[in-house]
Amino acid sequence: MTHPFHAALAGLGVGLLSLAAQAATVQVTVVGRDGQPLPDAVVIVEPATGRAAPPRPVQAVISQQKMQFVPALSVVPVGSRVRFVNQDSWEHHLRGTPATLATPGAAPSPGFELRLDGKVDGKEPSAREVTLDKAGAVLLGCHLHGSMRGHVFVADSPWTVKTGGDGIARLLDVPEGAARVRVWHADQLIEAPPADLQVIPATALTLPTAVVPRRRRL
């Protein structure tokens, strides 16, 4: 016979669990080959059961400033619009090309090209917009300036976050239970297979990678 007190506790436990299921936080620390925290790595968590609704598209801005893409890495949900704004006083001829292999059988993303005039003092900078409707990484470059390099990671999982300078990505409201986690980084030569993960209300893990970043941020 079950003691009433135990039954009450069991009920409470279930209640707490279902509350927590709304708001599991997954904290992932990504480290490079040298064991140091890896900034600008994209962490993607995909729950094993049930397909989540695709994330809501956003409007993002990437500036061209002093021959650099700012930010160097953007993470946007699939279907988002990205506005390129040239703050330099000289012309850029931007291109975006898929940086990951297309799904076998799927039509490859054609990429895009944008010509942006240099900024004239006292006038609005020239800007062009593209819609990114294919998931995956897009490499940004410039036909006129070979040193310019940037990336947009187009996400189809709502749990897709880039790591900060401390190598940490925090993913909020992840459903509890079995999930897979994978990491994308611009300097990763081969993407490692996804790791299995059991999501509990507060999940923290460290993911080692073989990435040697081209350049460390100071």
Note the residues at the interface with Cu ion (CB under 5 A): 92, 142, 144-145
d(C-alpha 79, C-alpha 56), whole Å: 8
CB nearer to Cu ion: pick between 149 and 180: 149
Shortest Å distance, C-beta 194 to Cu ion:
36
Token representation of residue 29: 């620390």
CB nearer to Cu ion: pick between 93 and 170: 93
Beta bridge partners of 172: none
β 177-184/195-199 pair status: antiparallel
Shortest Å distance, C-beta 86 to Cu ion:
8
d(C-alpha 116, C-alpha 32), whole Å: 35
Residue nearest to Cu ion (CB): 142
CB nearer to Cu ion: pick between 82 and 183: 82
Shortest Å distance, C-beta 64 to Cu ion:
7
CB nearer to Cu ion: pick between 39 and 141: 141
CB nearer to Cu ion: pick between 92 and 119: 92
List the one residue out of 153, 62, 186, 74 whose CA is nearest residue 114. 62
d(C-alpha 212, C-alpha 32), whole Å: 6
d(C-alpha 100, C-alpha 191), whole Å: 10
CB nearer to Cu ion: pick between 125 and 158: 125
Shortest Å distance, C-beta 90 to Cu ion:
7
Shortest Å distance, C-beta 44 to Cu ion:
30
- Amino acid identity, position 46: E
Helix (H) or strand (E) holding 141, with range, is: strand 136-142
β 127-132/80-86 pair status: antiparallel
- Amino acid identity, position 150: G
Shortest Å distance, C-beta 148 to Cu ion:
5
